Amino acid sequence: MRDLVVAGIAIRLSGCSPTQLPGSAASRALAAGCILDDLLKYLLDRRLVDDVHVYCAKGAVVENAEVRGRSTAVDLAGCDAVEIRGTRLNASSVGLKLQNCRDVVLRDLQVVGAPLGGRICFDYCGPGTGGTGMDLTQVSRLDASGVGLEGWSTGLALANGFDVRLDRMVAVGGKAGFVIQYGSNVTLSHSRAAPIAYTDLYGRPSTGGVGIALTGTRGFSLVDNDVSGSGAAGIVVTGAFDGTISRNQVAAVGRDGIAVSQMNRGTLADNRISGSGGGGLRITASQNLNVSGNALKTDSIVLEGTTMAQFASHRFDAGNTVDGRPVIFLNGCKDARVGPGPVGEVIAVACDGLTIEGVALVGGDLAIEVAFSDRVRIDGVKLSGQSYAGILAIESGHVEVNGSTIAGAGFGIRAQGGSQLSVAFSRVNSSGTALQAEGLDLLRITSSTFDASEKGLVVMTTGTFEAEGVEISRNGVGLSLQGVGYARVFHNQFSLNTQQVVGPPAQNGTWDDGYPSGGNYWSNFTAGDRYGGQQQAETLGADRILDEPLRFGPVNDRYPLAAPWRGLEPPLLIVEGPRQVAAGAPIRVRAFAQDENGVAEVVVHFRFLGQGEFATLPMERQADGAYEAVLPGWNGHRVVEYYVTARDGAGNEGREPLDHNYMTEVLGPLESAAEAGLGLALLAGATVAASAAVALLAVLLRREKRRKAWTKRSAPAPKEPPRKGPDKPAP
């Protein structure tokens, strides 16, 4: 038994025969108060009604019916007090269309699209293709519950809705689940959206789209919804105000789990997000949001914006977690410290003085984000597998990354705006882009490695770019320059990149450090090393600088190196010893040595002041990493002078000090015990100082001193040779 009730006219849909219907069955306009014969024209058989169109009706009811439309099943316009209950709607373009209606009740509907050939098409593909399950425009006081939407390009589209409640809705398949645009006081709750993959009319594979999209709405609630498997984003909110996004479950979506943009005043609370292809919870250009109790798994929180208010106006509580570990949100901190310890993610906003050290994070979208902050140090962190970025710095000044490793990230390090980024003794590998800097005043990179990535270094619209002692190897693009004002690039290793350097040259700068210090090592350039001198025209033998300059693209390297610079540097040495010892007491000398090629041996050279040749004594490695030797004690008032040398695995030798010797005074046997005691105290103090040097070693590893040391030892006797030819550049 199925009844159709329109404007108080009840029609029983049983016992009617199409052959008994007068008039043409082509008429489709049904108005309130129309004659019975006009209404019966819609009854095509005992069970089905073909297209119900009602205009300006009051009290229209469709109940317990099955309506099949070639294009639109039910189209109601200008209606008051409309109810549709327990009805199945089937059409190719729109299942249910409401325009300028109010006081609408929808209960327990099944709205099914009619795909063509088993495919859902989102461009025009002719009759029988997916469209919109429910198309609601300028509706007010609408209450819908228990509606199933299946096989539509868009499950539900609501535009300019006011006082709308959507509960227990299900949208399966298609490009979008629920699309809500403009209006106010809209609630979507206890609903499920699962857009699916599809193939369009031309056989092109694609993926489902957004689960829930809400735009320009004031006063909204998205609560207790389930969005899973969307090919694009789970929940997207844009340009909305005074809203709540709470207790939603978002899993395995292709892009962002929950993304809000240009949202002002609202709450993001207690959502469960996992397995997103983009950001788990992405907040862009928004203000005054309360973010609390969100649990993310293999996902992260990403803040984006261009003004400080779009970062600093948010309030985060301690309940947000990533993989069960806390999200550390610092707003306006002063001389703060994070780590080491269990951390899910670090977000620092408007901080002045921050140290992040020893943090280890695997997976997620983003590990460390600093925005509009100054004096930030990131030391010894180990990051891997972040889909967006390991470290993100936005409009921040004086950010330093030291002794850190990042692998398998979208961006290993990304800096957008700000005054200065420094990277030292770090490695970024196997990433989309190892390091990208945009709009910085100064980018300085020293003694670091960027390898096995699609792009090694990308430097854009940056005032000054400095790179020294950097290995850039096995990338698709080694170094990309775009809009750089001044570049100072030397002593670096460009090895086995598909494209070593691309982009226009910097406005000013240099690709070498002059002679004899040299330029960079290029794995694809060999020109022989038979000559020396500033013009590389003297018959002086090999000087580790190739005899021809290298010029291509933005590069003008006058003194390309014959071997990687790292292979030429001697070990770095720090030496500690006593200034005085008592008569007969041994002299204990300690040294700390470090080199990328490994330390082969450390030796102390000693003698009485100004007498004879230096004797040598090997220094032994200790448990704390230091090398130590004990010189024998003497009686009598003597001065012992000594220096220490270290040789690395490549045969390069360093000396400390560079151009003089250390001195230790041996007190005479008749000198006061107080003096002897002072000497022993100094010995103990020196040992403490040496231990402290370990902690300072990373800071002291500066290349300038080492470079000058090598230059002093390796430079040939200066003279002005004749030019080799007109192709030789001026020094």
**Yes or no: is domain 349-567 CATH 3.30.390.10?**
no
In the three-class reduction of DSSP (H, G, I as helix; E, B as strand; rest coil), residue 678 is classed as: helix
pLDDT at 67 over 90: no
H/E segment holding residue 471 = strand 471-473
Least confident span in 50-64, 634-648, 681-695: 681-695
Per-residue confidence band for 694, with pLDDT thresholds at 50, 70 and 90: very low
- Residue pair 517/490 in contact (Cβ under 8 Å)? The answer is yes
The reported pLDDT for the residue numbered 637 is: 66
The winner for highest mean pLDDT among 56-65, 93-102, 288-297, 529-538 is 288-297
Q: Which residue has the higher pLDDT, 268 or 7?
A: 268
Report the alpha-carbon angle 459-463-467, nearest 5.
55
CATH class for domain 572-712? mainly beta
Torsion of CA 212, 215, 218, 222, to 10 degrees: 10
How many other C-beta atoms lie within 10 A of the C-beta of residue 541?
Answer: 10
Token pair belonging to 134: 């429910």
pLDDT at 207 over 60: no
The 8-class DSSP code of residue 711 comes to: H
Global confidence as pTM: 0.73
pLDDT tens per residue across span 26-52: 223 333 323 233 333 343 333 344 455
Instruction: Please list the residues that pair with 291 across neighbouring strands.
Output: 268, 316
Largest CA distance in the chain: 138
pLDDT tens per residue across span 342-357: 999 999 999 999 999 9
The reported pLDDT for the residue numbered 494 is: 97
The reported pLDDT for the residue numbered 566 is: 65
Q: With left for phi above 0 and alpha for psi between -120 and 50, is residue 80 left, alpha or beta?
A: beta
- What is the distance between the alpha carbons of residues 71 and 126, in angstroms, rounded to a whole number? 10
- Domain ranges in the chain with CATH number 2.160.20.10: 349-567
H/E segment holding residue 311 = helix 309-312
pLDDT at 432 over 50: yes
- What is the distance between the alpha carbons of residues 375 and 639, in angstroms, rounded to a whole number? 46
The reported pLDDT for the residue numbered 196 is: 59
- What is the distance between the alpha carbons of residues 224 and 284, in angstroms, rounded to a whole number? 23
- Residue pair 417/443 in contact (Cβ under 8 Å)? The answer is no
- Domain ranges in the chain with CATH number 2.60.40.10: 572-712
Q: Which residue has the higher pLDDT, 391 or 686?
A: 391
The reported pLDDT for the residue numbered 22 is: 28
